[in-house]
Structure 1
Amino acid sequence: MNVINVIKSMATSDGDGVKISRVADFSGQHLDPFLMIDELKSDDQADFIGGFPPHPHRGIETFTYMIKGGFEHKDQLGNRKVISSGDVQWMSTGYGVVHSEMPVATEEGMHGFQIWVNMPAKDKLRPAIYQDSVDTPLPVQVNEFGAQLKALAGQWQFAGKTVTSPLTQLSANAAIADLTLPKNSSATLDCQLNEQILVYVHTGQVNGFSAGQLLVIEPRSILELSAQEEAGMLIFTGSRINEQVAHMGPFVMNTQAELRQAIDDYRAGKFGEIPVG
Structure 2
Amino acid sequence: MKLLNLTNSVATQDGDGVNISRVADFRNLTLDPFLMIDELKSANESDYIGGFPPHPHRGIETFTYILEGGFEHRDQMGNRKVIGPGHVQWMSTGFGVVHSEMPVAGAGGMHGFQIWVNMPAKEKLRPARYQDSVATGIPEIRGGDGALLRILAGSWAMAGQQADSPIGDLAGQASVADLRLQPGARATLDRRHQQRLFLYVYAGRINGYRQGKLLLADPATPLDLGSEEGGGALIFSGNPIGEKIVHMGPFVMNSEAEIRQAVEDYQAGKFGTIGG
Distance 2:261 2:170 in 1: 25
RMSD over aligned Cα, in angstroms? 0.8
Count, aligned residues: 276
Partner deviation per Cα, 1:160-215 (whole Å, 9 max, x = no partner)? 01111000011110000000000011000011111000100000111111100000
Residue aligning to 1:232: 232
Residue 135, structure 1, aligned to residue 135, structure 2: yes
Residue aligning to 1:145: 145
Aligned partner of residue 222 in structure 2, secondary structure: strand
Partner deviation per Cα, 1:45-67 (whole Å, 9 max, x = no partner)? 00000000000000000000000
- 125-134 vs 100-109, which moves further: 100-109
Conserved 8 A contact 1:12-1:19: yes
Conserved 8 A contact 1:172-1:238: yes
1:24 CA displacement = 0.4
Residue 81, structure 1, aligned to residue 81, structure 2: yes
Residue aligning to 2:46: 46
What TM-score, normalized to structure 2? 0.99
- Structure 1: gaps of 5 or more residues: none
Aligned partner of residue 260 in structure 1, secondary structure: helix
- Structure 2: gaps of 5 or more residues: none
Corresponding letter in the other structure for 1:222: P
Distance 1:173 1:266 in 2: 28
Partner deviation per Cα, 1:59-81 (whole Å, 9 max, x = no partner)? 00000000000000000000000
Distance 2:147 2:61 in 1: 29
Partner deviation per Cα, 1:226-277 (whole Å, 9 max, x = no partner)? 000110000000000000010000000000110000000000000000001x
Corresponding letter in the other structure for 2:247: H
Query: Which segments of structure 1 move beyond 3 Å, counting only runs of 4 or more?
Result: none
Distance 1:57 1:153 in 2: 21
Distance 1:138 1:106 in 2: 20
Residue aligning to 2:172: 172
Distance 1:236 1:171 in 2: 13
Residue aligning to 2:244: 244
Distance 1:39 1:156 in 2: 23
Residue 189, structure 1, aligned to residue 201, structure 2: no
Aligned partner of residue 190 in structure 2, secondary structure: strand
1:106 CA displacement = 4.4
Conserved 8 A contact 1:22-1:39: yes
Residue aligning to 2:62: 62
Distance 1:107 1:188 in 2: 34
1:220 CA displacement = 2.7
1:99 CA displacement = 0.1
Residue aligning to 2:202: 202
Residue 263, structure 1, aligned to residue 263, structure 2: yes
Conserved 8 A contact 2:68-2:106: no
Residue 34, structure 1, aligned to residue 34, structure 2: yes
1:108 CA displacement = 2.5
What TM-score, normalized to structure 1? 0.98
1:157 CA displacement = 1.2
Corresponding letter in the other structure for 1:30: T
